[in-house]
Amino acid sequence: MKKIIVIILSAVIVTSCFEQAEVYKNTNQGNFDALWKIIDTRYCYLEYKNINWDSIYNVYSEQVNENMDKYALFDLFSKMLSELRDGHVNLYSSFDISRYPNFYSDYPANFSSSLIVSERYLGRNYRIAGGMYYRKINNGSIAYIYFGDFSSSFGDGTLSNIFSQFAACDALIIDVRNNGGGLLSNAELLASYFFENETITGYMQHKTGDGHNDFSKPVEIRTPAHKTVKWTKPVAILTNRHSYSATNDFVNRMRYAPKSVIVGDFTGGGGGLPFSSEIPNGWMLRFSASPMFDAEMQHTEWGIAPDVPILLLPNDEERGIDTVIEKAIEVLQESYFF
């Protein structure tokens, strides 16, 4: 009962930090104003991205009229939300979902699924557990895991079994290219297997008011060291622009793990913790509400730079070679890791 009272009081305190919610009519203009206001008061990156949201109101409000059908209105709203340049911003209706794919589509893919299932890498005799595809490569000296979705469930037993099969390997590659995210709890759990001690790997802030810069003090994000299952040998994390959201969080955590190296391209970002709201006509809006930072208090919204930048070369791809995997093998074999 005490816990319930504390939660209620906390909600009252947080709510009191914001102005009284306005009531908008279920008209085209009313829905537009409600959508614009939610972003104006709750979205966390307007100042950081140098977005003049007042100017955007003027541009798009002029295009709203009550004769627009729901499809035209949805498309206009989607276009306005694209001004935020954020893959975590989506508008949900019964007939469509708005999205912003440019965070990865404007960049080289640096990934080929047909390459990683070739005999040089996963081949035909790979194993699958907890959404992880794994096998020994490079004549058995390197362990390779492809993990494509942080929504996939795994646990200590899965990782313990995988690591035991890789016990004779010198190093490990975890390939999270084209992993669009999922559960932050899974990102934390997977990272924990590579830490020797609990480590501050980032910070988060929360909105405390309607102003664009109304944020709480930074709250520490800690990555625990798993108590029983550990990988203590070198590990390389492979990334590309489609490594997004929870994957971005995992990569950021792994930057601070011992004997780890990030290889590939910039991640796609998605550093804002999503929140949902609703406009009068029932359309749901998801948006970034709480900014996340690395341990040096640098934003992770635009992505994380690799330690070893490398692109998938067309000439290699034609020969059945994944340039990024090969570079990771090379880096893992360098003497400073041992």
The backbone torsions φ and ψ at residue 116, rounded to the nearest 5 degrees and listed phi first, read -70, -20
CA distance 85 to 94: 23
156 with 259, same domain: the answer is yes
CA distance 168 to 315: 32
Q: Please choose, from the candidates 282, 317, 270, 34, the residue with its C-alpha nearest in 3D space to the C-alpha of residue 150.
A: 270
Structurally, how many domains does the chain consist of? 2
- Domain boundary at 49, 75, 102, which? 102
192 with 148, same domain: the answer is yes
Quote the tokens at residue 62.
Answer: 């002029």
Compute the chain's Rg from CA coordinates: 22
Query: Sorting pLDDT into bands at 50, 70 and 90, what band is 334?
Result: confident
72 with 33, same domain: the answer is yes
**Which amino acid is it at 38?**
I
Is pLDDT at 16 greater than 50 in this prediction?
A: no
108 in a structural domain: no
8 in a structural domain: no
What pLDDT does residue 7 have? 34
What pLDDT does residue 19 have? 53
What pLDDT does residue 6 have? 37
Is pLDDT at 75 greater than 70 in this prediction?
A: yes
Note the pLDDT tens digit of each residue in 120-149: 999 999 999 999 999 999 999 999 999 999
CA distance 62 to 183: 39
- Least confident piece of the model among 9-23, 191-205, 322-336: 9-23
At 126, which CATH number?
3.90.226.10
What pLDDT does residue 185 have? 97
31 with 180, same domain: the answer is no
CA distance 268 to 239: 9
6 in a structural domain: no
17 in a structural domain: no
9 in a structural domain: no
207 with 253, same domain: the answer is yes
- The stretch 292-304 carries a mean pLDDT of 97
84 with 122, same domain: the answer is no
295 in a structural domain: yes
What is the average pLDDT value for the chain, to the nearest integer?
Answer: 93
Note the pLDDT tens digit of each residue in 181-217: 999 999 999 999 999 999 999 999 999 999 999 999 9
Alpha helix segments (H runs only) across 152-241: 156-165, 184-192
Which structural domain, as residue segments, surrounds residue 31?
22-102
97 with 132, same domain: the answer is no
Percent of the chain at pLDDT exceeding 70:
93
Note the pLDDT tens digit of each residue in 115-127: 999 999 999 999 9
30 with 55, same domain: the answer is yes
97 with 117, same domain: the answer is no
Helix, strand or coil, per DSSP, at residue 296: coil
The number of beta carbons lying within 10 Å of the beta carbon of residue 233 is 18
Percent of the chain at pLDDT exceeding 90:
91
- Domain boundary at 76, 102, 128, which? 102
At 82, which CATH number?
3.30.750.44
Q: Please choose, from the candidates 186, 146, 166, the residue with its C-alpha nearest in 3D space to the C-alpha of residue 233.
A: 166
Note the pLDDT tens digit of each residue in 233-245: 999 999 999 999 9
- Kind and range of the H or E run holding 317: helix 314-318
- Domain boundary at 68, 102, 136, which? 102
73 with 142, same domain: the answer is no
251 in a structural domain: yes
141 with 243, same domain: the answer is yes
123 with 79, same domain: the answer is no
172 in a structural domain: yes
With tokens 């709890």, the residue in question is: 185
Look at the pTM and tell me if it is higher than 0.85. Answer: yes
Note the pLDDT tens digit of each residue in 239-270: 999 999 999 999 999 999 999 999 999 999 99
